[in-house]
Amino acid sequence: MAILELSHLKKYYATQKAVDDVSFQIEPGQIFGLLGPNGAGKTTLLRMITGIFYPDEGSILFDGKKFDPENDIQKIGYMPEERGLYKKMKIGDQAMFLARLKGLSQSEARQKIKYWFERLEMQSWWDKKVEDLSKGMSQKLQFVITVLHEPKLIILDEPFSGLDPVNANLIKDQIFELARRGSTVIFSTHRMEQVEEICDQIALINLGKKVLDGKVADIRQQYKEHLYELKIDQPANQFAACDIFQPVNQTDNKMIVRINDPYTGNDLLRYFLDKNIQVFHFGEILPSLNEIFIRLVHGTNAVTRSFHNI
Amino acid sequence: MNKIYLVLKREFLSRVQKKTFLLVTIGLPVLIFAIYAAIFYFSVNSTSKTKILVVDNAGLFKDTIANAKDVVFEFTKGVSKPDLERKAKNKDIDGYVVVPAGATLDDKIDLITGSKIGIMTRQTITSAIQSRLEKLKMDALPVSKDLLKKAKTENTIDIVNVNDKNDSGAKAGVSYAVGIFCGILIYMILLLYGTSVMRGVMEEKVSRIAEIVVSSIKPFQLMMGKILGIGAVGLLQFLIWIVLGVGLKLLLIPILFPEATHMMAAGGVASTGSGAEMASVMQALSTINFPLIITMFFVYFLGGYFIYASLFAAIGCSVSDGQQDAQGLQLPITLPIIIGFVIMMQAVNNPTSGLAVFGSLFPLTSPIVMMARVTQGVPDAVSWWELALSIVLLFGSFIFTTWFAGKVYRTGILMYGKKPTWKELIKWAFRKN
């Protein structure tokens, strides 16, 4: 059973359709990537899932039941893109306050915070103030606050922005660990390389509409352009287009070719083997999500949309 | 409810635990008290006396002009003009009057001053000379002194109200003072705590914590928690002030009392015996209905605070770039507070005028204006139905403004970008969801 099921979700503002008929579902334990250019409607969609906004139309099923923001919100951890903390408040008190807002009791909250602070090596921070933390440090603290009540659904909006590679990896490992222990993670971003690395499944949103969704591997297969990369023992520019393939790019002894229908990789390989040419390297090039993303979004007026004039 | 309490607690503790809290709470009244004490001290013990030399060549004044407050007259004869001018320039004297030989009581008198003399002192000098001349003229009349004295005695006029047998001048004065005091206090509360709520909301929005919090609780709960928390800080401050005030009164009044009486005598106010006057003030204080006033104070404090705090919260949540943006939106809210203050000053003098009645019913001004009226007595200055209607309107508006602010808050707290206008705020409030 899906942990979250959106069907025909709509949210219209006076001047634009922020979310326009979006449906998808997320299985428990998955890491789900919600992708889209700036202003695609991701944040609005997430705010509906977190109960901050009510959808104009459509329904949200959470854990098989109709989403009830009042109670279900306790089972969700949301780290918004625009995030901050009380600057003058001590970090321990701050974490306590936010944990208790999520419904944890005093002792539960204290115990969980201690656990997470130890895990991310933040024990010494308890009495510090947020204004004394660097951006990366406060990001870590925000992550802890988001996950410490052990939510079933964790929603992270651009969780790595502003993090150095070491801390980004630390957080990434925690995300994997949480998913392994059964939490579902929605991961919203426009940074594709992270998605490929982390997510099992994605949905791409543009101009408020869902453009595609599915497993990352399936999508890359679906959008492949039959490109192969070859490395041989001879200059590559001696091969011109033929029945089987057309060269796309030739430099030194490397070439990228597109295979014509209905030939396959084996036919290409056989072509060179028959000519008794040494093949050092042979491989299919699948499009990166980034390329698919740009191809799908390119040409729409995605960039010009802004969210400010509600 | 539990969530509101958590927000309230954070708000309250984060303010009260600050080092500046006790400093401000105790320091501020002490500072104000010290400033007043200093002003009082210097005005009473002022060493600068204005010295006027009277060169009475005609013997007109018969060597006496009663020394008035801060003015001393000295008499001499036959000093030459250049001498006088030199003295005035050297500040040996502040001014001089030359009465030429052969002058009569009806002649014009010229006062030549060496330095600038303030308007109050000028009046004191003129009236001192005037009254001395008047007395001399009277003495010259063919009437006996006894008759004159009899003509000049003042009749006592007592003002008695139908409802209140004890509406003495002292009581009117005391209730006037208490009225102004309560009015100003509420005025300050509305402005100080109101803007404090606004700044708190703005801080939450600008530091971007708001979205994290509203993903756990409803925006309305966040807003109410904040308003209640800051309100609780206000109540605690009052409690501290009341305790301090009572403590000071018990400790200091016995010490200060003799001095205060002495000061009043020195000021020339109490000619008929300051003890009696003080007693009548004390007696008037005891006839004021303090339980009613204190109850009403808290009713109007809470009602007014909630109305304004929620309006200020609505402004705080709708601006994104801090103080400057807020200023434009703030005006329509600070204006009624200031208007209330102006009407209050008018209402203490004339508590039953149309303006005062309007001001004490209109919920945006009633917390300030009604306090000034209530202190003058119910039902003399305010009828019971006016009071009841005013309270009903107050709490009706409180419910309305909280609802309004809650709706605006929902949209505003997560909105960044351009500053909205009041028209847009109202649109947000009436939009569904």
Q: What is the mean pLDDT of chain B?
A: 80
Q: Which residues of chain B lie closer than 8 angstroms to A98, CB-CB?
A: 212-213, 216
Q: State the pLDDT confidence band at B125, using cuts at 50, 70 and 90.
A: confident
| 3 state DSSP class of A46 | helix
Report in angstroms the alpha-carbon separations of B417 from A11, A309, B322. 20, 8, 12
Hey, of B18, B212, B214, which one would you mutate to test binding to chain A, going by the most A CBs within 10 A of its CB? B212
Q: Show Cβ contacts of residue A269 under 8 Å, excluding neighbours closer than 6 positions.
A: A279, A282
Q: For residues B315 and B419, is the Cβ–Cβ distance under 8 A?
A: no
Q: State the pLDDT confidence band at A236, using cuts at 50, 70 and 90.
A: confident
DSSP 8-state assignment for residue A303 = G
| Pair of tokens at residue A165 | 């590679």
pTM: 0.76
Provide Rg for chain A, Cα atoms: 24
The answer to whether residue B349 scores a pLDDT higher than 60 is yes
SS3 of chain B: CHHHHHHHHHHHHHHHCCHHHHHHHHHHHHHHHHHHHHHHHHHHCCCCCEEEEEEECCCCCCCCCCCCCCEEEEEECCCCHHHHHHHHHCCCCCEEEEECCCCCCCCCCCEEECCCCCHHHHHHHHHHHHHHHHHHHHHHCCCCHHHHHHHHCCCCCCCCCCCCCCCCHHHHHHHHHHHHHHHHHHHHHHHHHHHHHHHHHHHHHHCCCHHHHHCCCCHHHHHHHHHHHHHHHHHHHHHHHHHHHHHHHHHHHHHHHHHHHHHHHHCCCCCCCHHHHHHHHHHHHHHCCHHHHHHHHHHHHHHHHHHHHHHHHHHHHHCCCCHHHHHHHHHHHHHHHHHHHHHHHHHHHCCCCHHHHHHHHCCCCHHHHHHHHHCCCCCCCCCHHHHHHHHHHHHHHHHHHHHHHHHHHHHHCCCCCCCCCHHHHHHHHHCCC
pLDDT of residue A305: 42
Section B235-251 average pLDDT: 80
| Pair of tokens at residue B233 | 């800080």
Q: Show Cβ contacts of residue B20 under 8 Å, excluding neighbours closer than 6 positions.
A: none
Q: State the pLDDT confidence band at B168, using cuts at 50, 70 and 90.
A: low
The answer to whether residue A217 scores a pLDDT higher than 50 is yes
Q: Which residues of chain B lie closer than 8 angstroms to A102, CB-CB?
A: 216
Q: Is the ipTM of this complex over 0.85?
A: no
Domain residue ranges in chain B: 50-150, 166-430
Q: State the pLDDT confidence band at A307, using cuts at 50, 70 and 90.
A: very low
Residue of A83, A87, A310 lying closest to B211 (CB–CB): A83
Partner-chain contact A80 B417, CB within 8 Å = no
CA–CA separation, A272 and A256 (whole Å): 14
CA–CA separation, A238 and A261 (whole Å): 22
Partner-chain contact A310 B214, CB within 8 Å = no
> Which of A93, A104, A186, A174 minimizes the C-alpha distance to A139?
A174
Question: First vs last Cα of chain A: how many Å apart?
Answer: 36
Q: For residues A129 and A89, is the Cβ–Cβ distance under 8 A?
A: yes
Q: Which residues of chain A lie closer than 8 angstroms to B14, CB-CB?
A: 86, 88-89
Partner-chain contact A79 B414, CB within 8 Å = no
For chain A, how many helices (H) and strands (E)? 10, 14
Residues on chain A bordering chain B, Cβ-to-Cβ distance under 8 angstroms:
47, 50-54, 73-74, 76, 78-80, 82-89, 97-98, 100-102, 142, 145, 306, 308-310
How many CB atoms are located within 10 Å of the residue B150 CB? 9
| Pair of tokens at residue A17 | 């359709």
CA–CA separation, A103 and B172 (whole Å): 56
Partner-chain contact B6 A51, CB within 8 Å = no
Question: pLDDT for A81-138, tens place per residue?
Answer: 878 888 888 899 999 999 999 888 999 999 999 999 998 888 888 888 888 888 888 8
Is the peptide bond preceding residue B219 cis, with omega within 30 degrees of 0?
no
Burial class from Cβ neighbours inside 10 Å (0-12, 13-18, 19+) for residue A141 reads buried
Section A42-51 average pLDDT: 88
Q: Does B135 touch chain A (CB under 8 A)?
A: no
What secondary structure does DSSP assign to A69-92, as a single string? HHHHGGGEEEE-SS----TTSBHH
pLDDT of residue B322: 60
| Pair of tokens at residue A302 | 């995605």
Q: Show Cβ contacts of residue B260 under 8 Å, excluding neighbours closer than 6 positions.
A: B278
Section B83-104 average pLDDT: 81
Encoded amino acid at B400, one letter = F
Percent of chain B topping pLDDT 70: 85
Q: Determine the distance in angstroms separating the CA of B312 from the nearest CA of chain A, rounded to an integer.
A: 20
CA–CA separation, B424 and B433 (whole Å): 15
Least confident window among A220-234, A269-283, B172-186, B390-404: B172-186
Residue of B6, B14, B416 lying closest to A101 (CB–CB): B6
Q: Show Cβ contacts of residue A30 under 8 Å, excluding neighbours closer than 6 positions.
A: A179, A184, A185, A200, A201
Buried b or exposed e, range B282-294, using 16+ CB within 10 angstroms: eebeebbeeeebe
Q: Is the domain covering B50-150 a CATH 3.40.50.720 domain?
A: no
